A and B are shown apart, each in its own frame.
Chain A
Amino acid sequence: MAAISNETRQRTGKTSVLARREAIEMYICLAPWLIGVVVFTLGPMLASVVLSFMDWKLLKPPVWVGLDNFVSIFTSDPLFTKALVNTAYYTGFSVPLQLITAFLVAMLLNTRVRGLAIYRTIFYIPSVFSGVAVAIMWIWILHPNAGLLNQGLGILGIQGPNWLGNPQWAMPAMIIMSLWGGIGSPMVILLAGLQGVPQHLYEAAEVDGANGWHKLRHITLPMMSPVIFFSLVVGIVGSFQVFGASYILTGGGPNYATYTMVLKIYQNGFTQFRMGYATAQAWILFLILVTFTYLQFRLSRRWVYYETETVGKR
C-alpha cells in the first residue's frame, strides 16, 4: 500500500484520494489513544498547572494563591526536602547497584554456562512479583530476630540491625529489597544485549593479544552502552516514583527516614486533601525527572555508542 500511494503521489503531484482515505483511517485507528491522551493525560496536565497555583481543600471552593504553594514547599516544609533527599538517596544507591549486579550476572550467564535458561528464570522470578505482597514478605525477612536477613548475617558472625525500626537502617533495608526485585529485568535485557555483540570482535581482539579487561573495556562496554543507557533512564525514572515499598514497609518512618516524594504527594493529596499543594509537588517531581532525563540524553552523546550512527555518517 505504502508503495502504491507513493507512486501515485509522484505521478499526480498531489494527495490522491487513496492517500486521503488512508489518513482518515489512520486517525480512526489512533482515535482511542487520542481521546485518552487528551482526557486522561493532557487535560489533567493542563488542569494540574492551574491547580498548582491554587489552595484547594476539595470541600471548599478553590482559591488562587499564585506561587504560594511553591514558596512554602521550599521555605516552610522541611518534610519536602527530607522526602527529596530520601528519594535521591534511594535512587542513588538502588539504581546503580541494580545495574551493576544485573550486568555482572548477565556477564556470568554469557560465558556459555550450562543451564542458562534455568538460571535466567531463577534470577528473573523475583521481578515478576511486586507490590504489597512482596513488601509484606520483606517485613518478616527484615525482622530483627526471626528474619531471614539477620539470620543469614548471624551465620557470618554479624549482628544485624533492627532494619525497619532504626532510622539509619530503614532506607538501606528498602534498597536491599529493591535489589531483590529489581535485578531481573535489566539482567534479561543486558543478557540479550551481550548475546548480540558480534563474536568476531572478540576474536579479532584476542588475535591482537587483548586480555579480558581490554575486551570488556573496549568491546563489551561500548557495544552495550545503548542498552545500559536505556536501563539507566528507565531505572531512575521508576525509582524516583517509589511508593509502595515505603508505604507498606514503614509508612515513611521511622522518624521519616523512608519518607519518599510520592508518599508525601499521596499524603498531602489524599489524606489531607490539599489538592493544590500536592499537585505543586507532583510538578516539582516531574520537572526533576524531565531534567534528569534530558541531562542523561545530553551526557549520553559522550559515552553511548550507536553502531548505525557512525556508519550513517561516513
Chain B
Amino acid sequence: MTHQVLPTSRPALVADRTSRGRRQPLGGYRALKSLSKVLTYTVLTALSAISVFPLLFTLSNALKSNDQMYVMPPVWIPNPLMIEHTVTAWNALPFTLYTFNTLVITILSMAGHLLSGSLVAFGFSRLRGPGRDKLFALLLATMMLPGQVTIIPDYIMMKYLGWLDTFLPLIVPSFFGGGAFFIFLLRQFMLGISTELDDAARIDGCSSWRIYWSIVLPLIKPALGAVAIFAFVGNWNDFFYPLIFLNQQSKFTIALGLRLYQLQVFHTSFRTHSVQGLLGLSLVVLLPVVIVFFFAQKQFIQGITFTGLKG
C-alpha cells in the first residue's frame, strides 16, 4: 500500500543524489520514504483519535446507566443505551424555552451583523471620502480591544437604559457594526472583487445603494455565508455576555441553562439531575453547531484562512 503512495516524479532526483556520492542504495531510500509515510499516517491517525475520542467518550457516558458509570475497566458501548437521562434533564429545567431564547438572540444578532457589516464594509471598500483610512485604522484597533475593558461601562449604560435582563444588549450592538472582525472580513473580500461591474452600473446611472444591494451583495455571498456561520456559532456558544446581562431564569440562553444545571447536578435534592443528563445536554447543545459545521465546512475553512492569510 505504502509503495503505491511513493511519488512517481522523483526518480531523477534520487539518481542525482546517489550519483553525488551518497552511497545509499535506491532500495534504502525507498524504504526510508515509505517508513516516513507509515509514520505520517500513524501520527495522523493518533491525532484524529485524540480529536474525536472526547466526543465519543461524552456520548458513551451520556447513555450509560448509573451502575455502568464507574465500572472498571470502562464500558465504551453502554448496555442498555439509555437516552432517558438526557430527556429527563431536558425537562428538569425549561430547556425548550432556553433554546427558543437563544435562537431569537442568535438569529437577530446574525441579521444585524450581516446587514450592518456588509453596508459598512461597502463604505470602506467601494466609496471614497476624507478620513476613510483613519477610520479603518480605528476599526482595526477596536478589533484588538478586549471586551472586558468596556464591559463595565457597557453594563452600567444598559442598566440606565433599562435594558438589563432583556435580549437587547445582546442584539442591538450587532446592528451597529458590532463585530469589527466581520466588517474587516467582508471589506477584505470586497476589495478582491473587480470594480468593473460597479463602474459599468454607475455609467448607466445606478446609485450606490443599488450597486450595494444588486451587485456587490450577490457577489460576496461566500463571505456573507462565512459571517453568518461565525455569528451563529459565536452567539450560540456565547456565555460571558448572557451571563452578565441576563438575570431571570426565564430569559436564560441555553449556555446559561446548562451552567445552571451543572450547579444543581451534585446537589442530591434534585432527583431529576444526573451526570449522564449533564453530558447528554452538553452534546445536545453542541449538536446545532455540528450540523452547521458539516453543511458549511467550506465557508468555515475559507473564512478562517481568509482572515489569517490576507490579514
Q: Which residues of B contact A48 (CB under 8 A)?
A: 149-150, 152-153
A97 to B306, CA, bound (A): 23
Look across to chain B and name the residue whose beta carbon is closest to the beta carbon of A39: B176
Q: Which residues of B contact A1 (CB under 8 A)?
A: 126, 195, 198-199, 202
Inter-subunit contact B52/A122 (CB<8 Å): yes
Query: CB within 8 A of A265: which of B54, B148, B259?
Result: B148
A24 to B207, CA, bound (A): 13
Inter-subunit contact B44/A119 (CB<8 Å): yes
B111 sits at the interface (CB 8 A): no
A217 to B173, CA, bound (A): 46
Identify which of A70-78, A158-166, A274-282 touches chain B. A274-282
- Minimum distance in angstroms from B205 CB to a CB of chain A: 12
Q: Which residues of B contact A24 (CB under 8 A)?
A: 129
Which parts of B124-142 form the interface with A (CB within 8 Å)? Answer: 124, 126-130, 132, 135, 138-139, 142
A114 sits at the interface (CB 8 A): yes
Inter-subunit contact B41/A113 (CB<8 Å): yes
A190 to B123, CA, bound (A): 31
Inter-subunit contact A289/B199 (CB<8 Å): no
Identify which of B77-85, B220-228, B233-241 touches chain A. B233-241
Instruction: Known A1-B195, A188-B301; judge A41-B262 contact (CB<8 A).
Output: no
Inter-subunit contact B51/A125 (CB<8 Å): yes
Inter-subunit contact B300/A29 (CB<8 Å): no
Look across to chain A and name the residue whose beta carbon is closest to the beta carbon of B240: A243
Instruction: Known A44-B150, A45-B150, A136-B282; judge A108-B43 contact (CB<8 A).
Output: yes
Q: Which residues of B contact A282 (CB under 8 A)?
A: 148-149, 151-152
A37 to B127, CA, bound (A): 20
Look across to chain B and name the residue whose beta carbon is closest to the beta carbon of A275: B152
A171 sits at the interface (CB 8 A): no
A40 sits at the interface (CB 8 A): yes
Besides A45-B149, A186-B308, 16 more A-B contacts (Cβ < 8 Å) are A22-B127, A22-B129, A30-B135, A37-B177, A113-B41, A122-B48, A125-B52, A131-B239, A132-B259, A140-B57, A141-B57, A180-B50, A185-B308, A231-B308, A247-B239, A286-B145
A–B complex contacts, Cβ < 8 Å, 8 sampled: A33-B120, A36-B178, A40-B154, A45-B150, A109-B44, A123-B47, A145-B72, A265-B148
